[in-house]
Amino acid sequence: MSQAYERIARLPSQSFFLLGPRGTGKSSWIRRALPEAQRFDLLDEALYQSLLARPGLPADELRAVPTGSWVVLDEIQRLPNLLNEVQRFIEDRRLKFALLGSSARKLKRDGANLLAGRALRLEMHPFLPAELGSDFDLDRVLAEGAVPVVWTAPSRKDALQAYTRLYLREEIQAEATVRNLPGFARFLGIAGLFHGQTLNAAGLARDAGVSRTTVLGYLDVLEDTLLAFRLPAFEGKLRVRERKHPKFYVFDPGIARALRGPVDVRPAREEIGPLLEGWILAVIRAYGHHRELFDEWAYWSPAEARTTEVDLVLRRGREYLAIEVKAGRAESADDFAGLRAIAELKGLRRRVLVCTAERARTTADGIEVLPVARFLTELHGDRLWP
């Protein structure tokens, strides 16, 4: 069970939103962190219908909660108007709220009260290697992902397929997020194929049989429902013209594969590179949310050189860290081309190539080659920045 794994998330001292894709363990974690809190689960249909008719209904129960206590509102995006009551009780009774949700879209779309200055924003992610401990297996994560509801399922293959159906039914159809559900379902399958690629909205639209404008809206839906993220292009003002289009990633490699179709076979060799790259970025993104690892992130690629790229450039203050990910042992000069091309970036403190080599080494021009396990140890131990 997912409860057996200790998550690295830490309970804040003030009210907070806890967002994350479905199945990432938000509710399980909050039950452990706040076992005595008053709880309202908006997936409870009877409660939801009652609150839909009378949004002020929780007020009577909240008045009975001792001043300064915690209250949990699960699936808050289903009733954003409740946030007005939340603000009132934060101010009048100093209650602290944990506001859980799997989508920021409905909150933004409905102009909800996002409690500016009164609530932090946290995110929950798939299991991290440090959370899985001895159960972590890189091949397994790349093939099936690490979403808790999938990782703990008796059949991960069935759970992955069920996840995509659940996403369409509960996140998209139930919330009336898109009008053309068949078109969106076709788009999802194609989006899985674009995992780790520079976004080409026209190509996506052509393959999905919808307009480019519709595809751009669908991409926003994926981001707002936390199923995917976009990595912007870096503008370093080096002596080259840099690409401007973002890259696209599904939040978990298992889900990326499930969007494409059945996952009853291991990833093909050509899949491993994008899956490893996307997963490393997702892990870094998780640490960024939990530990403020960086201020900004981007990928870098000269527009003139189609094969020269750095997968990730992190900025913290005026310092930069360049990271390249390779599904191999990094034995070819081409593997280092991007990191060598970006060497003149002002403030660049470290160039790291993460790969499946067995041992760490440093090249003559200062590029550090780190096996995946070594890189993860440095990341978890807050040792990435020199």
User: What tens digit of pLDDT does each residue of 177-217 get?
Assistant: 677 778 888 888 899 999 999 988 888 888 888 889 988 98
- Residue 25 confidence (pLDDT) above 60: yes
Confidence of residue 368 (pLDDT cuts 50, 70, 90): very high
pLDDT of residue 1: 39
190 CB-side CA count, 13 A: 21
**Of 244, 214, 224, 241, which Cα lies nearest the Cα of 232?**
244
Instruction: Name the residue with higher pLDDT: 105 or 343.
Output: 343
- Domain limits, the chain: 2-123, 129-230+248-267, 278-380
Q: What is the pTM of this model?
A: 0.91
CATH number of 2-123: 3.40.50.300
Q: Specify whether the CB–CB gap between 150 and 163 falls below 8 A.
A: yes
> For all residues of the chain together, what is the average pLDDT?
89
Q: Kindly report which listed range (158-162, 250-254, 320-324) carries the lowest average pLDDT score.
A: 158-162
Rounded to an integer, what distance in angstroms lies between the CA atom of residue 116 and that of residue 361? 47
Which fold, 278-380? Trna Endonuclease; Chain: A, domain 1 (3.40.1350)
- Residue 2 confidence (pLDDT) above 50: no
Structure tokens at 166: 């659940």
Q: Which helix (H) or strand (E) holds 255?
A: helix 253-260
* 247-250 and 348-355 strand pairing: unpaired
Rounded to an integer, what distance in angstroms lies between the CA atom of residue 182 and that of residue 283? 32
Cβ atoms within 10 Å of 60's Cβ, excluding its own: 8
Name 235's Cβ contacts closer than 8 Å, sequence gap at least 6: 242, 244, 298
